[in-house]
Chain A
Amino acid sequence: MDYTKMLNTRLTGLKPSGIRRFFDIANEMDHVISLSIGEPDFTTPWHVRQEGIETLRKGHTWYSPNRGFEELRQQICKYYARRFNVEYDPDQEVLVSVGGSEAIDLCIRTLVQEGDEVLIPQPAFVCYEPMTVMAGGTPVIIETKAENGFRLTADELEAAITPRTKLLILPFPNNPTGAVMRREHLEAIAKVLEKHDILVLSDEIYGELTYGKERHVSFADIPHMKERTIVVSGFSKAYAMTGWRLGYALGPEPVISQMLKLHQYAIMSAPTTAQYAAIEALKHGDNDIEHMREEYDMRRRLIVDEFCRMGLTCFEPEGAFYVFPSIQISGMTSEDFCEKLIYAQRVAIVPGTAFGDCGEGFARVSYSYSLKHIQEALVRIERFLNDPHAAQA
């Protein structure tokens, strides 16, 4: 059988993720120190795991309601009100999903149809573009700039809007750059959006991981923006619960109810055990978040400082757990730099181009690793910068 004729060409036409290639190289080598993984190095707090275990012991192993357990939805709404000052109705404006990723997919498929344009600021996480293509939409890339701290500006947004624009993706705090949008930046974006009928998918999965005095501001908290915003978040990054696969969407009832229909047919319901554990996390996990955030913050300061000292300038990342240093002093392309680094010094980082063409000249470095691990990687990176051809000692 000629499968190429059978497969969906929209899918086969998608590029594979650029992050993968470096993982594959790293996997085949020994003694590689990786700073490439995009998930917390912490394990889920014990009291949260224990709650999952306890419900399993009691035999609570059935499907949950499609929308997610009522108590979990209530707790999610309380949490968003408590931490980010936005109120939602647990019965109509929340949907519990299989990770934030499912919620992104649902949201894009619910809104986007043939011919619609979706604005995607890049560098950004890799899923928005393919999901848009699969939904029949046209991704329109907005390249954010290092000199603007990789924030989306009102001018850049205005210039990209056409009569066919349906949706803006707002991926902040940002993976891979660590950029955040402060209230005033969001207000400038809001001013542009008010003139148009454009919805916003605000991916706030890193919302708990911001550093410095100002906390993350939800786009739904900006006046008049709640009605046009679908907030996507989850438990993976805030509570170190990646493997539990649990996220959620918050938004206007007419959108959420259609997303729910799609979720019902495609997924049915999110994992039951994970939902019980998540209730415990929301009820008693604020201190866990704080503990992890402080730890990330120390690593962030160390790594930014050391990179700047080595000449890998990076604008100061204020969110998530990535730094996005410029590698231009090496005179190499991002791909080249990362490949030579891994072969010469066995340190794996991800080329900026994996997150969009405008990531050229940069690399993503994750600091969701222990200080000890980071220290060793920094020593090796410096050795590489001093002599790109020297083998690892």
Chain B
Amino acid sequence: MNKLLELLSRSAEFTTAQLATMLGVSEDEVKQQIADYKAKGIIMGTTTLINWDKVPEAGVMALIELKVTPKAETGFDDIAKIVMSYDNVESVYLAASSRYDLIAMVKGSTIQEIAEFVSKRLSTLDNVIGTATSFVLTHYKSGGVSFTDNEEDDEQRSLIL
């Protein structure tokens, strides 16, 4: 049923009846499957994809890489949990990279605010031995959706015959 997940990740606006039709299964099966996915923590929630670039004074985003010394028992998990507990941290990933271990996407109202957050909150954590901050200038694509102006909507096909 990965097809169902794929459709759900494309749009939250399909009704369960429409999803069932498209997949050629019963609506009950779709409902059951979605309930299962929720119970197993595969479906974690539904949000709206927003292009913050277009929202006045929406603030800034930064990608912050953290070099971390893993703890003996819990590895990177403990540090990750501390990082993700801040409300301004949008997402946290563990990376397989030679330079950095954790990557966090952080939101702030100004560049200064983020810089301060990194230097005061993240760099000072016991096991963090280095950080690198990259500020996001433009969102081109997010959540599988292109954010460039209507490129996908522009009909480029010609009308023939």
Name the contact of A27 in the complex, choosing from B13, B22, B159, B161 (C-beta under 8 A): B159
B54 surroundings in chain A (CB, below 8 A): none
Q: How far is the CA of A372 from the CA of B7 in the complex (A)?
A: 11
Contact A37 B159 (CB under 8 A): yes
Q: Say whether, besides A17-B161, A37-B159, A298 and B22 are in contact (CB < 8 Å).
A: yes
A196 interfacial contact with B, CB 8 Å: no
Q: Does B155 contact A (CB under 8 A)?
A: yes
Task: Place the interface of chain B in its size category.
Answer: 10 to 19
Question: Are the C-beta atoms of A20 and B22 separated by less than 8 Å?
Answer: no
Tell me if A41 and B161 are in contact (CB < 8 A): no
Which chain A residues numbered 1 to 54 have a C-beta less than 8 Å away from chain B? 17, 19-20, 23, 26-27, 34, 36-39, 41
8 Å CB contact of B23 from A37, A298, A371, A372:
A298
Q: Is there an interface contact between B159 and A375, defined as CB atoms closer than 8 Å?
A: no
> Is B10 at the interface (CB under 8 A from chain A)?
yes
Given contacts A370-B152, A371-B10, A302 and B22 within 8 Å (CB-CB): yes
Q: Does A126 contact B (CB under 8 A)?
A: yes
- Please determine whether B155 and A305 come into contact, CB atoms closer than 8 angstroms: no
Which residues in A have their C-beta under 8 angstroms from that of B157? Answer: 37, 39, 41
Q: Does the CB pair A375–B13 fall under 8 Å?
A: yes
List residues of chain B with CB within 8 A of the CB of A375.
13-14
Beta-carbon contacts of A273-305 to B below 8 Å, as 1s and 0s? 000000000000000000000000011011001
Contact residues in A for B160 (Cβ distance below 8 Å): 38
Cβ of A378 to closest chain B Cβ, rounded Å: 10
Chain B 34-51, CB within 8 Å of chain A: the 1/0 string? 000000000000000000
Chain B residues whose C-beta falls within 8 Å of the C-beta of A34 in the assembled complex: 155
Q: State which of A39, A302, A370, A372 has its C-beta within 8 Å of the C-beta of B21.
A: A302
- Once the chains bind, are A38 and B161 in contact (CB under 8 Å)? yes
Whether A302 contacts B161 by the Cβ 8 Å rule is no
Partner of B18, one of A23, A27, A127, A302: A302
**Are B161's CB and A20's CB within 8 A?**
yes
In angstroms, Cα B160 to Cα A36, docked, is 10
Cβ of B18 to closest chain A Cβ, rounded Å: 6
- Tell me if B24 counts as interface (CB < 8 A to partner A): yes
Query: Which of chain B's residues 125-161 have a Cβ closer than 8 Å to chain A?
Result: 152-153, 155, 157, 159-161
B11 CB within 8 Å of chain A: yes
Task: Give bound CA distance, A26 to B10, whole Å.
Answer: 28
Chain B residue at smallest Cβ distance from A309: B17
In angstroms, how far is the closest chain B Cβ from the Cβ of A177?
17
Q: Are A301 and B13 in contact (CB under 8 A)?
A: no
Asked if B21 and A305 make an inter-chain contact with CB atoms under 8 angstroms apart, the answer reads: yes
CB contact between A126 and one of B11, B23, B161 (< 8 Å): that residue: B161
B residues near A26, Cβ cutoff 8 Å: 159
A301 touches B10 (CB 8 A): no
Write the nearest CB–CB distance from A246 to chain B, whole angstroms. 16
Instruction: State whether A23 and B11 are in contact (beta carbons under 8 Å apart), knowing that A301-B21, A302-B21 are contacts in the complex.
Output: no
Give Cα A373–Cα B7 distance, bound, in whole angstroms.
15
Please report the C-alpha to C-alpha distance between residue A370 and residue B155 in the assembled complex, in whole angstroms. Answer: 11
Given known A34-B155, A371-B10, contact A19–B24 (CB-CB < 8 A): no
Q: Which residues of A contact B161 (CB under 8 A)?
A: 17, 19-20, 38, 126-127
Min distance, Cβ B73 to any Cβ of chain A, angstroms: 45
With contact pairs A298-B22, A301-B24, A375-B13 given, residues A23 and B159 touching in the complex (Cβ less than 8 Å):
yes
- In the complex, A201→B18 CA distance in Å? 39
Complex-state Cα separation, A133 to B26, whole angstroms: 50
How far is it, in angstroms, between the C-alpha of A298 and the C-alpha of B25 when the chains are bound? 12
Given A301-B22, A302-B22, the answer on whether A20 and B159 have CB atoms closer than 8 Å is yes
A298 to B19, CA, bound (A): 9
Which chain A positions have C-beta within 8 A of B18? Answer: 302, 305-306
The residue on B at minimum CB distance from A242 is B157
Closest residue on chain B to residue A34 by CB atoms:
B155
Docked complex Cα distance between A372 and B18 (Å)? 12
Interface residues of A (CB under 8 A from B): 17, 19-20, 23, 26-27, 34, 36-39, 41, 126-127, 298-299, 301-302, 305-306, 370-373, 375
* 19 other A-B residue contacts (CB within 8 Å) besides A299-B22, A302-B18: A17-B161, A23-B159, A37-B155, A37-B157, A37-B159, A41-B157, A127-B161, A298-B22, A298-B23, A301-B21, A301-B22, A302-B21, A302-B22, A305-B18, A306-B18, A370-B152, A371-B10, A371-B14, A373-B153
29 inter-chain pairs at a CB distance below 8 angstroms, sorted by A residue, are A17-B161, A19-B161, A20-B159, A23-B159, A34-B155, A36-B159, A37-B155, A37-B159, A38-B160, A39-B157, A41-B157, A126-B161, A298-B22, A298-B23, A301-B21, A301-B22, A301-B23, A301-B24, A302-B18, A302-B21, A305-B18, A305-B21, A306-B18, A370-B152, A371-B14, A372-B11, A373-B153, A375-B13, A375-B14
Shortest beta-carbon contacts, A-B, top 10: A23-B159, A298-B22, A305-B21, A301-B21, A302-B22, A17-B161, A301-B22, A37-B157, A302-B21, A19-B161
